[in-house]
Chains A and B, each alone.
Chain A
Amino acid sequence: MDRMQLLQTLTGHEGRVWSASWHPSGNLFASCGQDKTIKVWAKTENYRWVAQKVLTKGHSRTIRDVAWSYCGHYLASASFDTTVAVWDQKSGEFECNATLEGHDNEVKSVTWSRSGNLLATCSRDKSVWIWEVHNAPDQEDEYECVAVLNGHTQDVKKVCWHPQEDLLASASYDNTIRMYRQDMVDNEWEMLEPMESHTSTVWSIAFDASGKRLASCSEDKTVKIWQQYGPDNTLGIPCPEKGSVWKCVCTLAGFHTRAVYDIDWCKQTGLLATACGDDMARIFRETPNSDPNEPTFELVVMFAAHSQDVNKVAWHPVTPGVLLTAGDDATIKIWQYQEEN
């Protein structure tokens, strides 16, 4: 069995830590939670993480999610107070320079596109919003809502952009995952067919490095792997004209004993990490030589990550095997994955 070495336990948040996001450089990360604050953590010379900044004036209720833009200049935060705040350091200090309003209810998740000019948010109000970012180096940035997508029939828990393309995925309390892309002819955002297989709330989703696979995790205690099939696929899977379909090719059942709240697919190592309501985090690896159309995954590490529910897992964007976890026990932990030879 491989193992996880605990590098550091970070305290400072009061109450549940809901989410965290690595800066693309890997030298910073941001965390958020029930205490309505965002903390920005930086690495000191002796490789210890310390809270460098605490952002307190952005939100009046729980901050559910945070996300750095790929350029690393912007941090977005999603709150139960129905707004999304965008923070930057143009003045030298972190400041909230834009507040995105429009959702009728709690905002659950926020995500930046790879290109950096699109932002997506989702809410308890069942909708997914896409915002276009108009950068202006010497003036204030502007955010324009370009689509309100009402495909889900319930609370939307998570939004996640494709790692290369402007393809958006969302996960919901209605048990489905949906994808959205822009129609080339009229530029309108369109919804693809819902991806149905989970039997309860889909809490989170993550693409692999290629963007041809998606992993999802659910209240139903399973993890599913979805594979994209284009019109040229050799299996004869029917596809819409010029489009592709996503099929569930693997279900990891029997590994988790409670709801699985988050999942992250490492872009460097291909390892899959999950955060579970049984206080454990788990790492899965695709079995070598497994059939790409019927892949198998094996559990390589299961470890007691927190003393309460684990809410978040996030692989370091640069250093392979470094994993961040956050939990209801108000702590954030940094781990190093070690393969047993």
Chain B
Amino acid sequence: MTELENIKPNVYLKCEDRKLTKDDQDENVVDPFDEREIFDLIRNINDPEHPLTLEELHVLEQSLITVDNEKNIVQILFTPTIPHCSMATLIGLSIRVKLLRALPPRFKVSVEINPGTHASEHAVNKQLSDKERVAAALENTHLTEVINQCIGTPLK
């Protein structure tokens, strides 16, 4: 990457770690997936441009995640750092892939742009929800390398 699209993004603080309760450590208690657990799975995904996580850039926020464990539904809204961000599809794809690998297959995951925060939100959303195109994209070795780099834990 030669030129950064968003030269000075706003950087925010990370949230504190989840406080473990007694029930969380009790193997006999069934704890369903909740918003915080999904957030923890994806908040450390790296931005493709900056050495920062999607949480630090406020691309992902726990309040924009909806989980219905019973109905097997996970919905993520993400906010690109700028309205013309050309990385929006790649960021959405990284979130999808991370959840595809981490969650049981019963979940229907949708990843969409936070309404009103991107110039081509409709086109990006349509592409991210097309499972056939996502499947084809994931057979592209170059693209999966880039995504794996985003998903991998940061080197710091």
Contact = CB atoms under 8 A, between A and B. Distances in A.
B108 interface: yes
A108 B131 contact: no
A108 B129 contact: no
B139 A309 contact: no
A62 B130 contact: no
B135 interface: yes
Interface in B128-156: 129-133, 135-136, 139
Contacts of A108: 132
Contacts of A173: 126, 130
A162 interface: no
B139 A308 contact: no
Given A307-B106, A308-B105, A80 B133 contact: no
A298 to B, nearest CB: 26
Given A80-B136, A124-B136, A258-B108, A309 B130 contact: no
Nearest to B72: A279
A308 B106 contact: yes
A108 B105 CA distance: 24
A31 interface: no
Contacts of B106: 307-308
B136 A106 contact: yes
A16 B133 contact: no
A278 B108 CA distance: 8
Contacts of B131: 277, 309
A168 B12 CA distance: 55
SS class, residues of chain A in contact with chain B: loop
SS class, residues of chain B in contact with chain A: helix
A329 B106 CA distance: 9
Interface in A291-339: 307-309, 328-329
A256 interface: no
Nearest to A329: B105
A157 B108 contact: no
Contacts of B108: 258, 277-278
B143 to A, nearest CB: 13
A201 B139 contact: no
Contacts of B129: 219, 259
B132 A64 contact: yes
A134 to B, nearest CB: 32
A61 interface: yes
B113 to A, nearest CB: 16
Nearest to A154: B126
Interface string A182-199: 000000000000000000
Contacts of A62: 135-136, 139
Most buried by A among B126, B129, B131, B132: B132
Interface string B114-137: 000000000000100111110110
A301 to B, nearest CB: 22
- Nearest 7 A/B pairs, CB to CB: A106-B136, A80-B136, A61-B139, A308-B105, A80-B139, A62-B139, A62-B135
28 contacts: A16-B135, A34-B135, A61-B139, A62-B135, A62-B136, A62-B139, A64-B132, A80-B135, A80-B136, A106-B136, A108-B132, A124-B133, A124-B136, A155-B133, A173-B126, A173-B130, A200-B126, A201-B126, A219-B126, A219-B130, A258-B108, A259-B129, A277-B108, A278-B108, A307-B106, A308-B105, A308-B106, A329-B105
Given A155-B133, A173-B126, A277-B108, 4 more contacts: A80-B135, A80-B139, A124-B133, A308-B105
